[in-house]
Amino acid sequence: MLISSIIDVLMERRRQAFILRYRFPDHIWAKALDLQIGLKEEHRGVIEHALRHFFQAVLLARRRAVAMPSDAVDALWHSMILHTHEYERFCRHALGRFLHHSPNGAPSRSAESIRAELWRTWVLCCRMEGIDACAPDRLPTLFSADATLLPAAGWHYSLKHGQVTFARNGRNRQIHADLIFPENRDRFHWVNPLSSA
């Protein structure tokens, strides 16, 4: 059992290193520019960084679902998926399995499962960037990409009075209690983002 745990930790570290070192090919980036109106070449570094964080969150979630909170970053992921052989190779080395894509609006996904996936993504991305998930002083890159890079589109997360809010299509919504954070903040520290949901 101990040897198995050690091997698992070593494999996870190896996969994390692969994700961090991975160079997104130019043809994949070019396709992402075609897929998402408003993306520009100068956005490449931020979007690649955010997608690396997404893939690390997938790895750290240990087969539990995570959500993609950014249209800009999702465009690069979609571009990877279109190059099936490269994407399959990437998934095998980075995650040890093929990562399927389920759109946020898929009928098979309940609001509760989307909330749990978004919460898990939020916590893991906050950990990666040294942010307190319960009392953030800034947004993780994956959650700030759209507001920064796609002012007229995407998911716009922001911090207002210590709470995280988001807007899409001009409709403001608050994440604080009804989307990411549990209803009872006093129980926050017992909520495990890696629990199944």
Each residue's pLDDT tens digit in the chain (197 positions)?
778 788 888 899 999 999 999 999 999 999 999 988 888 999 999 999 999 999 999 999 999 999 999 999 999 999 999 999 999 999 999 999 999 987 655 566 777 788 888 889 999 999 999 999 888 999 999 999 999 998 878 888 888 777 787 777 555 554 433 344 444 343 333 344 444 44
State the Cα–Cα distance between residues 182 and 30, nearest whole angstrom.
39
Owning domain of residue 149: 2-190
3-state helix, strand, coil in the chain (%, to 5): 55, 10, 40
Considering the domain boundaries, does residue 149 fall inside one? yes
What pLDDT, on a 0 to 100 scale, did the predictor assign at position 67?
Answer: 93
- The total number of structural domains in the chain stands at 1
Question: Helix, strand or coil for residue 38?
Answer: coil
Number of helices (H), then strands (E), in the chain: 7, 3
What pLDDT, on a 0 to 100 scale, did the predictor assign at position 175?
Answer: 44
State the Cα–Cα distance between residues 2 and 128, nearest whole angstrom.
26
What pLDDT, on a 0 to 100 scale, did the predictor assign at position 7?
Answer: 83
Contact 52, 167 (CB under 8 A): no
Considering the domain boundaries, does residue 96 fall inside one? yes
Contact 87, 81 (CB under 8 A): yes
pTM of the model: 0.84
